[in-house]
């Protein structure tokens, strides 16, 4: 008897040949399950408003228990939104411009939950001034919050993840100014360039321990921080003309990327700077 033409195909080939048939849903369900964050413990810095709040809510919607950090602005509102939707959230506060704050934040997470699975280093600050007039105080503050605290929190979280042998996910928030210089923001550009390089350096050391370290570089996002740019008719037009997507980014655009990089779906992604910019950098 002649061998049927499909007999020597692999199971994967036979499964993929049934697209649109009932054999596919189990495969798709398995893929979708890798994005779930059920029972994961996450710390999101700068989660009171903007991108950080949306990331915290997104992680909670995916199943994580989220510790929401705030400084001058309270993260209570973000926590209430998560709790109202049936999620678990806890507020913490602290000035990341102070050297000991990362240790206090991480100790609080570990004391409450016994572990940390996801760290989102989102908190940041910016001070604007021409480089020739840039003050030592502004330089120190921006570098401390945007870069040094990212290293300290990552170091503490990475140590816990490695020692527990559970692995984990660290996601840093970089910037378009990780690649470009900007104008009148020398400390911010230096700090965000440092975040990108720190991300790669930590990934090189920790990937073997199943600790994935990656970063997201948001483009022009529709947040309160960019309200003045959006209101400036000429500048708004110039920005939109440069963005292939033709629109400002929404905080939810970054939240989706954060959920991906926090989940098992990104287990083979290490040291990557993921641009979420509507195509700005490719223009």
What the chain holds in terms of domains, given with CATH numbers, is 37-278 (3.40.50.720)
Position 224 scores a pLDDT of 83
Specify whether the CB–CB gap between 179 and 217 falls below 8 A. Answer: yes
Q: What are the b/e assignments for 61-96, b being 16+ CB within 10 Å?
A: bbbbbbbbbbbebebebbbebbeeeebebbbbbbeb
Give percent of the chain above pLDDT 90.
86
Give SS3 for 67.
strand
pLDDT tens readout for residues 180-220: 999 999 999 999 999 999 999 999 999 999 999 999 999 99
Position 12 scores a pLDDT of 38
pLDDT tens readout for residues 144-163: 999 999 999 999 999 999 99
| Tokens 């300290």 -> residue | 152
Name residues whose C-beta falls within 8 Å of residue 20's C-beta, 6 or more positions apart in sequence.
Answer: none
Name residues whose C-beta falls within 8 Å of residue 247's C-beta, 6 or more positions apart in sequence.
Answer: 240, 278
Specify whether the CB–CB gap between 76 and 123 falls below 8 A. Answer: no
Q: What does the radius of gyration of the chain's CA atoms come to, in whole angstroms?
A: 21
Give Dmax (Cα) for the chain: 87
Mean pLDDT computed over 223-230: 87
Return the axis-axis angle of helices 50-61 and 76-84, rounded to nearest 10°: 30
CB half-sphere exposure, 104, CA atoms < 13 A:
11
Choose the catalytic residue: 134, 188, 220, 268. 188
Position 118 scores a pLDDT of 99
CB half-sphere exposure, 194, CA atoms < 13 A:
16
Q: Say yes or no to pLDDT of 17 above 60.
A: no
For the question of residue 134 being annotated catalytic, the response is: no
pLDDT tens readout for residues 33-61: 999 999 999 999 999 999 999 999 999 99
Q: Say yes or no to pLDDT of 11 above 50.
A: no
pLDDT tens readout for residues 229-246: 899 999 999 999 999 999
- Rounded to the nearest integer, the mean pLDDT of the chain is 91
pLDDT band at 29 (very low <50, low <70, confident <90, very high): low
Helix (H) or strand (E) holding 93: strand 89-93
Residue 118 is classified by DSSP as: E
Mean pLDDT computed over 18-41: 70
Pairing relationship of beta strands 168-173 and 211-218 according to DSSP bridges: parallel
Give SS3 for 39.
coil
């Amino acid at each position: 008897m002649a061998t049927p033409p499909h007999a020597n195909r692999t199971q994967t080939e036979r499964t993929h040949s049934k697209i649109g048939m009932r054999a596919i849903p189990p495969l798709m369900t398995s893929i979708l399950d890798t994005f779930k964050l059920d029972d994961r413990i996450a710390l999101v810095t700068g989660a009171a408003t903007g991108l950080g709040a949306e990331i915290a809510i997104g992680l909670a919607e995916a199943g994580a228990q989220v510790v929401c950090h705030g400084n001058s602005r309270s993260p209570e509102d973000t926590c209430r939104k998560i709790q109202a939707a049936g999620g678990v959230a806890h507020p913490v506060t602290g000035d990341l411009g102070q050297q000991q704050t990362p240790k206090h934040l991480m100790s609080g997470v570990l004391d409450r939950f016994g572990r940390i699975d996801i760290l989102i280093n989102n908190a940041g600050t910016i001070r604007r001034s021409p480089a020739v007039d840039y003050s030592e105080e502004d330089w120190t503050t921006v570098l401390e919050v945007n870069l040094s605290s990212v290293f300290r929190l990552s170091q503490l979280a990475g140590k816990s993840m490695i020692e527990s042998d559970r692995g984990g996910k660290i996601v840093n928030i970089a910037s378009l100014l990780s690649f470009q210089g900007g104008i009148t923001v020398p400390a911010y550009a230096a700090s965000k360039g440092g975040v990108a390089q720190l991300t790669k350096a930590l990934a090189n050391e920790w990937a073997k321990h199943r600790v994935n370290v990656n970063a997201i570089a948001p483009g022009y996002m529709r947040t309160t921080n960019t309200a003045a740019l959006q209101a400036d008719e000429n500048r708004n037009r110039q920005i939109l003309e440069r963005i292939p997507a033709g629109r400002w980014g929404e905080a939810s655009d970054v939240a989706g990327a954060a959920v991906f990089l926090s989940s098992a779906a990104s287990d083979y992604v290490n040291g990557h700077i993921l641009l979420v910019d509507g195509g700005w950098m490719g223009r």
